[in-house]
Amino acid sequence: MLANFKNSFENSSLKTKIELYLLPILLLFLLYVLFYNEKIEENQNVQNSELLNIENKKFTDSILELSNKIEDIAKSENLIIQKTQSSKEQIIIQLKGKRDYLLNFLQKVEEINSFTKIDFLSLKKFENEIYLIDVRVDVSKYYLKNKKVKDIINIEQEEINGTKEDE
Indicate which CATH number applies to the domain containing 116.
Answer: 3.30.70.60
Instruction: Give pLDDT, residue 73.
Output: 92
Instruction: Give pLDDT, residue 154.
Output: 62
Task: Indicate whether 88 and 137 sit together in one domain.
Answer: yes
Q: Which residues of the chain have pLDDT under 70?
A: 1-2, 5, 37-43, 45-48, 51-55, 146-167
Closest CA to 74 of 43, 123, 22, 112: 112
Instruction: Give pLDDT, residue 155.
Output: 60
Task: Indicate whether 92 and 108 sit together in one domain.
Answer: yes
CA distance 100 to 8: 89
Task: Indicate whether 77 and 146 sit together in one domain.
Answer: yes
Give the sheet arrangement for strand 90-98, strand by strand: 80-86, 90-98, 130-138, 117-125
Name the CA dihedral angle for 150, 125, 105, 63, rounded to a multiple of 10 degrees: -110
Task: Indicate whether 12 and 48 sit together in one domain.
Answer: yes
Task: Indicate whether 51 and 67 sit together in one domain.
Answer: no
Task: Indicate whether 33 and 78 sit together in one domain.
Answer: no
Q: Distance of CA 10 to CAs 1, 5, 13, 16, 106, Å? A: 14, 9, 8, 10, 81
Task: Indicate whether 83 and 158 sit together in one domain.
Answer: yes
What is the chain's length?
167
CA distance 123 to 97: 11
CB-based contacts of 40: which residues, under 8 Å, 6+ apart?
Answer: none
Domain encompassing residue 114: 63-166
Of 12, 39, 55, which residue sits at a domain end? 55
Domain count, the chain: 2
Task: Indicate whether 84 and 143 sit together in one domain.
Answer: yes
Task: Indicate whether 140 and 97 sit together in one domain.
Answer: yes
Task: Indicate whether 48 and 68 sit together in one domain.
Answer: no
Instruction: Give pLDDT, residue 54.
Output: 66
